[in-house]
Amino acid sequence: MESKIINPIAYIKTDFKEKFGIPRQSGRSPSSVGEIVFRKEFSDENAFRGIEEFSHLWIVFDFNAVTKTEFSPMIRPPRLGGNKKVGVFASRSPFRPNGLGLSSVKLEKVTKNTDGTISIAVSGVDLLDGTPVYDIKPYIPSCDCHVDAKGGFSEQFTNYQLNVVIPDQLLSLIPIEKRKALIECLKDDPRPSYQDDDREYGMAFSRFNVKFKVEKDTLTVIAIDNL
């Protein structure tokens, strides 16, 4: 069987500096933004001609922060409490044979940079800052949207959200344009699903360390420090 080497065509910049706190799926935090910056050899404007006619894109990326290489046919989805196992191919787990991920994001703007590279601003991202991107493709509603599709075990968590409380003096430390994205990420409950206690957590977001506690269905931010 032949093997194939694929190399990144771009890297994405986001506010997520570590895995903890990244939205569990793309689109869960519509206000979370990213910038896909293409390498110079792929920054030919002709390669992007017509792309702004589409509203959304698929991103094929590398789970580059995952170090595990041994194949495991079963995984424990965090949303199932870390106890129930399902097949890796019945999950969105990053622990995959080839470490490939797929995200659907909203296309905001295409920019030609002064250094000759091209970047695409996107929203609804769920990617770690610096993630290598292997390809992008347009999202085509007539083919990619299946209104009668089943969501398996994920359906029971579709509407799961926490109430978020951030005191005004702490919220004022976050730039206005980043506040909505932060709140969306906190609502999605960054904690491992098997944790249900009053311990203090810290989430790296942009240049901040956001510390919080959760009691029942309410998340309260208790401190925000610079990273």
Report the alpha-carbon distance of residue 120 to residue 142 in Å, rounded.
23
Asked if 54 and 146 touch (Cβ cutoff 8 Å), the reply is no
pLDDT single digits (tens) 158-210: 778 899 999 999 999 999 999 999 999 999 999 876 666 779 999 999 999 99
**Which pLDDT tens digit goes with each residue over 140-149?**
999 999 989 8
In this structure, what DSSP letter does residue 59 have? E
Q: What tokens does 56 get? A: 């959304």
Domains of the chain: 10-63+99-144 (2.40.30.70), 158-226 (3.30.2310.20)
Give 36's strand partners: 12, 120
The one-character DSSP state at 67 is -
Q: Taking residues 97-104, what's their average pLDDT? A: 94
